[in-house]
Amino acid sequence: MSLSVPPYVAPETMEVLYSTKQIADRVKAIGQQISEEYKGESIVLIGVLKGAAIFLSDLARAISVDNTFDFVAVSSYGRARVSSGAVKLIKDIDNPIEGKHVIIVEDILDTGLTLSYLRGLMLQHKPASLKIATCLDKPERRLVPIEADYVCFKIPNRFVIGYGMDYAERYRGVEDIRIFPETPPGH
């Protein structure tokens, strides 16, 4: 066992930033907006593993137009809690997106390095259109200029977990979005 694995902090002790109801309401609203904007079209949702898996699964169910989904994986923060700056593709899309309406789905837009890399990569596939949906947006942390087209919540520069988002791979299944304490209790 690695000595660097941080101690477990119970999510119940963490402050709730957004409740399940607040999240569900925003996801529903964005799903409706997308359904109106793409009326009569087919769309491809591309989720960025792993964090976006839960947001994508809820968003897909809130969208009433024809949609399929795919996933990509990029190099991760790991436990560093800061972006390394270098983004690498680990898993590419399974199906071609040329001529398709694509929405990249993220859990969080932070420095923007991941999405700006992915946007460039996806544009090389010549989609008919390309938009970005993110559950959270931390504009204060941006290092490269990129904005999402659909955002559930803009948040301050706090480290959050839950609703797909992790700390050291934990807490992705926490249903609401909570603020991870800067110093875990007892340390």
Question: In the complex, which residues of this chain contact ligand PRP (CB under 6 A)?
Answer: 48-51, 76-77, 83, 106-115, 166
Residue with tokens 């001529």: 99
> Which H or E element spans position 108?
strand 101-109
Rounded Cα gap, residues 75 and 114, in angstroms: 9
Task: Give the CB-nearest residue to ligand PRP.
Answer: 51
Please tell me the number of Cα atoms within 13 Å of 32 on its side-chain side. Answer: 6
CA angle 125, 129, 141 (to 5 degrees): 90
Q: Which of 110, 137, 149, 166 is catalytic?
A: 110
| Minimum gap (Å) between residue 47 Cβ and ligand PRP | 9
| Minimum gap (Å) between residue 109 Cβ and ligand PRP | 5
| Minimum gap (Å) between residue 156 Cβ and ligand PRP | 15
Q: Of 67 and 114, which has the nearer Cβ to ligand PRP?
A: 114
Rounded Cα gap, residues 68 and 157, in angstroms: 33
Answer yes or no: 107 catalytic.
Answer: no
Q: Of 9 and 74, which has the nearer Cβ to ligand PRP?
A: 74
Q: Of 26 and 137, which has the nearer Cβ to ligand PRP?
A: 137
